[in-house]
């Protein structure tokens, strides 16, 4: 899928830099991946809490 201007704008809004900058910087890629991993872990913890509450009744 080609990277569109809208996608770049959204990416820049979330991360503070554009996709072209991301492609050219290992440091920025690592920063984004670290943030994604932390968000994923938070989501998994939240899902586990919600599941636990649902089974308590």
The string of pLDDT tens digits covering residues 1-53 is 788 999 999 999 999 999 899 999 999 999 999 999 999 999 999 999 999 88
pLDDT digits (tens, 9 = 90+) for 36-49: 999 999 999 999 99
H/E/C letters for each residue in the chain? CCCCHHHHHHHHHHHCCCHHHHHCCHHHHHHHHHHHHHHHHHHHHHHHHHHHHHHHC
Question: CA 30: distance to chain centroid?
Answer: 12
pTM of the model: 0.73
């Amino acid at each position: 899928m080609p990277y569109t201007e809208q996608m770049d704008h959204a990416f820049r809004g979330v991360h503070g830099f554009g996709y072209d900058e991301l492609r050219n910087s290992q440091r920025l890629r690592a920063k984004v991946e670290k943030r994604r991993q932390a968000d994923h872990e938070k989501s998994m913890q939240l899902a586990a809490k919600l599941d636990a509450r649902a089974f308590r009744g």
